[in-house]
Amino acid sequence: MNYRIILDSCEVNLGQRNLFFRGYINYNGKLLYDADAEQEIANLLNDQTPNDLFNSINGAFRFIYLIENKLYFSIDHFGGYALFYQMEGGNLVLTDNPMLLQGKQNLLDRAVCAVLATGFTLGQDTVFANILECMPGTLYHFDLVTGKLECKKWFNYFSVNERSLDYTKLSVILHSLFPETAKGEYTLSLSGGIDSRVLLGCLLKKEKPFQTYSFGSDLNQDKHIAAKLASQFGFTHHHHNFTRESCTSYFNDEMLNRVYQYCTQGRSIPNETDLISSSLLDKDNNIIVKGFGGDWLTGRYITPALRKISEPQQMTRYLFDKYFHLTAISSGTFRNLLWKQFDELMTTKYYPNHPGLISAEEQWNQHHNERKYIINTLSCYNAKGFRFYLPFYDRRLMNFFAKLKFSEKTDQEVYFTYVRKCLFTEKLSPLRELPTLRNNFLTPFEPNVFDKSKAAIHTIIRYLDAGKIRKRFFLPALSEYADSLMLFNRELKTTPFLRNRIGKNYPDVTNVAEKLKLAGCHEAAKHLLWLSKQSTSQININGVAFCRFFLHPEFVKYLNEHVS
């Protein structure tokens, strides 16, 4: 039996140590990257087995290790990195981008449909029938003698209704989130929300040099709030303005080709706005810090409505109705295909392996919805040689929040209370006083009767109007689409763009549909052809990004080269 490793489009040799490690670890108060992290991992493996190693590793990485005719491989506990494997004739191929494996690949209709509806595949599926994704926090080992592949989970996010928030313990964890670095400054992506502001507060308390950046059009309120924060505290802040000229220069065909080359398209779609920093920052001096995961970790998805769910089928329906509408649903057949695979996934992989429905929901969100953009954002940062750091996925912080009572986590109430009363105080009090984009930050969220009724009506309409027909006639606010419109169209106009049919805005949709049909993806092809005749306003903002990347001549080229 044999194996191959193909990363960044190149064959990888494990070297004298039989070890490959890329990413970062937060270890003994230091943030170590790539070669330095690999050296530390090699030292640990001198005294530990691969199984023991993952009890203490805290970071984001790909890990591959060969010892005694067994090849071990894993990705980090939250899936910041992606790794895929293909088994053929007892031989194993590992890769970071299934789109670029040599030879033609067979497409999987159900997985392509999932990408069309959600922006990500489900379970271990990729869009290729014979290529699977490594699940986060799972150690795989391949026996080179027998050709047998086995796996064992080393991390699960078990959300349990157990403890009240310990303010002192949380303060200690937050204080340790930004360890020493050998080279470069932390450079925070700063927005008008709470999570990046919390990370800003942690950096300010460290009293060590750091920088921030923000991006967007003039209609982007995040950018203006970030500028006010920078002015208040006097730290270095970079404005990445979305103007016609700037978008033409740094979001061009070269950038798009890089996305196709390095993003894990077999799994999810990229987030276009997060790619900008990889063109404008200095990779030698900037360690990009993102607030990814903060909303999920601190309870935004745990709502009063979700806590009332008592049966698995109810939870499955709740999640399906909430997340499977990236584009309009075209038919009952398309919807049923999606429902069947999602229901099977939740019933077999999540509900039986978790202590409760909320725990299963939180783990699924972390594995799928949360990762949708993270994977490809980090893939592009890696391709440009950037270091990055995601503090909210620190294992200590995740384990801390996993134990909190659901009553305290609901709508992030206790998190906001802690931030107001314990973190944003004294010199940091302006972080509490300056405006945010979260209306319920200053006071506990308790919707009035009007808001409750409005939310209920919206839920009913969303369920009944799977085709989003209503959106043909009621256009969203310009500010909602502004950044994407500027990036894609170089102008801030929702009309005629949103009024046009998708096929007019993205004429290659028919070519993509034809390629999918020839490859055996009949439901996906039918959905795309139906979608091409609908108004662009019938897809949400993430759906616009999906069209930009997947209904483009470059994608047709990749289909021709890599799909049988």
Residues 24 and 95 in one domain: yes
Residues 280 and 386 in one domain: yes
Within-domain flag for 158: no
* Domain identity same for 12 and 83: yes
Examine residue 262 and state whether it is found in any structural domain, yes or no. Answer: yes
Task: Give CA–CA dist 448/445, Å, rounded.
Answer: 10
Show the domain range for 430: 167-297+370-449
38 within some domain: yes
Six token digits for residue 469: 């027909």
Answer yes or no: do 146 and 31 share one domain.
Answer: yes
* CATH code of the domain containing 438: 3.40.50.620
- Cis amide prior to 355 (ω within 30 degrees): no
CA distance 83 to 267: 10
Same domain, 251 and 376: yes
Place of tokens 């894990």: 264
**Do 178 and 224 fall within a single domain?**
yes
Q: Which helix (H) or strand (E) holds 277?
A: helix 277-280
Residue 562 structure tokens: 């890599």
319 is a domain residue: no
CA 490 – CA 374 distance, rounded (Å): 25
Tell whether 146 and 185 lie within a shared domain: no
CB contact at 8 A, 528 and 513: yes
Regarding whether 275 and 195 lie in a shared domain, the answer is yes
If asked whether residues 142 and 282 sit together in one domain, one would say no
| Same-domain check for residues 282 and 394 | yes
Domain boundary among 401, 426, 449: 449
Q: What is the pTM of this model?
A: 0.94
Each as own residue / partner, the long-range contacts of residues 47-53 (CB below 8 Å, 24 or more positions apart, any chain) are 50/139, 50/141, 51/139, 51/152, 51/154
Say if residue 31 is in the same domain as residue 84. Answer: yes
Contact 260, 379 (CB under 8 A): no
CB 271 within 8 A of CB 213: no
**Residue 549 counted as domain residue:** no
Q: How far is CA 406 from the centre of its chain?
A: 24
Closest CA to 442 of 413, 479, 400: 413
Q: Give the chain's domain count.
A: 2
Query: Taking the C-alpha atoms of 85, 264, 12 and 156 in order, what is their torsion angle to the nearest 10 degrees?
Result: -60
pLDDT value, residue 252: 80
* pLDDT per residue rounded down to tens, the chain (564 residues): 799 999 988 899 998 899 999 999 999 999 999 999 999 999 999 999 999 999 888 999 999 999 999 999 999 999 999 999 999 888 999 999 887 777 778 999 999 999 999 999 999 999 999 999 999 999 999 999 999 999 999 999 999 999 999 999 999 999 999 999 988 999 999 998 999 999 999 999 998 899 999 989 999 999 999 999 999 999 999 988 889 998 888 778 777 777 777 776 678 877 777 777 777 889 999 999 999 999 999 999 999 999 999 999 999 999 999 999 899 999 999 999 999 999 999 999 999 999 999 999 999 999 999 998 898 889 888 888 899 999 999 999 999 999 999 999 999 999 999 999 999 999 999 999 998 887 777 766 566 777 777 777 777 777 778 888 888 888 888 988 899 888 888 989 888 999 999 999 999 999 999 999 999 999 999 999 999 999 999 998 888 888 888 888 888 888 888 787
β-strand partners of 87: 92
User: Is 511 among the domain residues?
Assistant: no
**Contacting residues for 472 by C-beta, under 8 A, at least 6 apart:** 535, 537, 538
In SS3 terms, 387-404 reads as: EEECHHHCHHHHHHHHCE
In a domain, 307, yes or no: no
For position 52, which CATH number holds?
3.60.20.10
Residue that finishes a domain, picked among 449, 483, 510: 449
Query: Do residues 104 and 204 both lie within one domain?
Result: no
Q: Does any domain span residue 68?
A: yes
Under 8 Å between Cβ of 409 and 161: no
Which among 153, 188, 220 is the end of a domain?
153
